[in-house]
Chain A
Amino acid sequence: MTSRSATDPVLVVDDLRVSFPNRDGGRFEAVRGVSFTLGRERLGIVGESGSGKSQTGRAILGLTAPEGLVTAKRLEFHGTDLLRCSPRQRRELRGGRIAMVLQDPKFSLNPVMTIGDQVVETLLAHTRISAKEARAKAIAALEAVQIDDPQRVYKLYPHEVSGGMGQRAMIAMMLIANPELLIADEPTSALDVTVQLQVLAILDALVIQRGMGLIFISHDLRLVSTFCDRILVMYAGRVVEEIAAGGLADAKHPYTRGLLNCLPRLGDNRHPLPTLDRQPEWAL
């Protein structure tokens, strides 16, 4: 395994563009020139629907829909060019060294396989070990995501567990092959607030323990600002601002300030709430 130097960037993205054909024959540009470098840190990508944040995550993994067109000056994971590598290489990377956690475990876990079987399947796809060893590792992975009775949960089906447990199982599945980069697309949006924080704590602990890079995609600017080290704010396919953790109050771009302002806050008494006045120049 290659040694990970502390200063090697995990992911380099330079001028990423994703476009889709639209009804009238033109192209709709979902991502228009996003650039960033990711080290062993927690990076948040925040935006509303249509900002292109999910498409960015998918493009990195090569999961863009077939009719979409992905281009970039550089899209490199530890030196491997993700755009020009062969499909086989990309398959090996996916799940093995780059993993993705999606929003709703109801829709991302296979409903007809037990949780244990799914975790084992991921493992067997990326490492050559015996079934017995795989089972033991799967149980260990379920324990690592703070599931108290892993043997019992191993045999359950996704619909038999709560949302929070399903999301933890999803994380276990994604982390079992020891990836170096985890892309989480709204991993907590479908969960209750208290469960959200538990899942975030698990993610946090795992990231710190394993020295992973984490890209956390969300619409919740406030939550991301309490969790991530750096935040990219996206609007209409572009990154409009980059904020360091705790620097929300100093945000400069009018979109970011507008977004923060329009959220109701406990204890505030602003009636009516300020609304976001979209300026056309933000989308340029």
Chain B
Amino acid sequence: MSGSKVGMEVKNLRVVYDGFIAVADTSLRVNAGESLGIVGESGSGKSTVLRAICGLAPKQSGTVQLIGQSQDPLPLPGSKPFRRLVQMVFQDPYGSLHPRQTVDRILAEPLAIHNMDDAETRIERALEEVGLGTGFRFRYPHQLSGGQRQRIAIARALILEPQILLLDEPTSALDASVQAEVLNLLEDLRARRGLTFVMVSHDLAVVTHLCERLMVMQRGQTVELLSSIDLAANRVSDPYTRTLMEASTGFRRGSEEIGEPA
């Protein structure tokens, strides 16, 4: 399977909900085959950035562009060809699958919308790729565990053979042991298909495991841009990033200042 030749560039993205600035003038760039992590706490706007890229959140200003080598002009965001190149995996495995549709139907839908033939083979191959046998094909979501549902969500995202995968906290709702399996699956799929990843997470360990570069966001602003290696080696410049790093090591008696968040 050919590697990804398409990356993405976001310039000065601004998302405003009813006067509340969710994302303020954020820019990022992912080249083909790279993986970028966006880290932050709640209210940082990290998930909103992903949604705005796909058109699920209203963009007040800014541009989203596909970049890379291609003979034909690269599709514009929101168009059907764009949908084939850029797909998303959502956070909540319990909410991202239609409760009244079988796995088979869920996976057949993208193929039907894009008029791709050979549905049978593609569905079976998709299930195999995410480590689920064809025995899962006719189950309903409530007959699947959280990890299995997330695998189906990944299979659905990949069945159109996109080149860029957006991941919105794909493992934070899963148990620790299942999280490891899903992270391994994502890594494996990325290597095999040469995908470009943009992953959002609040968990520094998870995001540095999968991503080469990181973008730290706070209250809609980009606070720092650094590589995972630098973060792991504690070569951070911004105090907020440092706070996040220290918080991820756990509770330390006597070292906490009880602040007053609004």
Interface centre among B181, B188, B209, B232 (most CB of A within 10 A): B209
Of B41, B244, B258, which is within 8 A of A198 by CB? B258
Known contacts A264-B206, A275-B180; A198/B259 CB under 8 A: yes
Is residue A130 within 8 Å, beta carbon to beta carbon, of the partner chain? no
How close is B154's CB to chain A, nearest CB, in angstroms? Answer: 16
Of B42, B205, B231, B247, which is within 8 A of A263 by CB? B205
Q: A267 to chain B: which residues have CB within 8 Å?
A: 208, 232-233
Q: B208 to chain A: which residues have CB within 8 Å?
A: 264, 266-267
Report the nearest A residue to B258, measured CB to CB.
Answer: A146
| A267-B207 Cα distance, complex, nearest whole Å | 11
Is residue A88 within 8 Å, beta carbon to beta carbon, of the partner chain? no
Of B179, B205, B245, B251, which is within 8 A of A197 by CB? B251
Is residue A48 within 8 Å, beta carbon to beta carbon, of the partner chain? yes
Of B184, B231, B248, which is within 8 A of A275 by CB? B184
Is residue B14 within 8 Å, beta carbon to beta carbon, of the partner chain? no
Of A147, A195, A222, A272, which is within 8 A of B250 by CB? A222
Is residue A227 within 8 Å, beta carbon to beta carbon, of the partner chain? yes
Known contacts A164-B261, A193-B247, A204-B253; A273/B231 CB under 8 A: no
Within 8 A of B (CB), among A256-284: 258-259, 262-268, 271-276, 278
Q: Write out, one digit per residue, whether chain B residues 231-253 have a CB within 8 A of any chain A CB (1) or not (0).
A: 11100000000011101111111
| A258-B181 Cα distance, complex, nearest whole Å | 13
Q: Write out, one digit per residue, whether chain A residues 187-219 have a CB within 8 A of any chain B CB (1) or not (0).
A: 000001111111011101000000000000001
How close is B204's CB to chain A, nearest CB, in angstroms? Answer: 6
Is residue A221 within 8 Å, beta carbon to beta carbon, of the partner chain? yes
Q: B188 to chain A: which residues have CB within 8 Å?
A: 272
**Is the interface on chain B under 10, 10 to 19, 20 to 34, or 35 or more residues?**
35 or more
Is residue B256 within 8 Å, beta carbon to beta carbon, of the partner chain? yes
Classify the interface of chain B: helix, strand, loop or mixed: helix
Is residue B175 within 8 Å, beta carbon to beta carbon, of the partner chain? yes
Within 8 A of A (CB), among B202-217: 202, 204-206, 208-209
Is residue B1 within 8 Å, beta carbon to beta carbon, of the partner chain? no
Q: A148 to chain B: which residues have CB within 8 Å?
A: 260
Verify A266–B245 contact, CB threshold 8 A: yes
Is residue B146 within 8 Å, beta carbon to beta carbon, of the partner chain? yes
Verify B258–A264 contact, CB threshold 8 A: no
Q: B184 to chain A: which residues have CB within 8 Å?
A: 272-273, 275
Verify B232–A263 contact, CB threshold 8 A: no
Q: Which 10 A-B pairs have the closest CB atoms?
A: A226-B250, A276-B177, A262-B180, A201-B256, A192-B41, A267-B232, A272-B184, A48-B175, A264-B209, A193-B247
Pick 23 A–B contacts, CB within 8 A, sort by A.
A146-B260, A147-B260, A165-B261, A197-B247, A198-B261, A201-B258, A223-B250, A226-B251, A226-B252, A227-B250, A263-B205, A264-B183, A264-B206, A264-B209, A265-B205, A266-B204, A268-B209, A272-B183, A272-B188, A273-B184, A274-B180, A276-B177, A276-B180
Having A49-B146, A221-B176, A265-B205, one finds 15 other A-B pairs with CB under 8 Å, namely: A164-B261, A165-B261, A192-B202, A195-B41, A195-B261, A200-B251, A219-B175, A262-B176, A264-B209, A266-B245, A271-B187, A273-B209, A275-B181, A276-B177, A276-B180
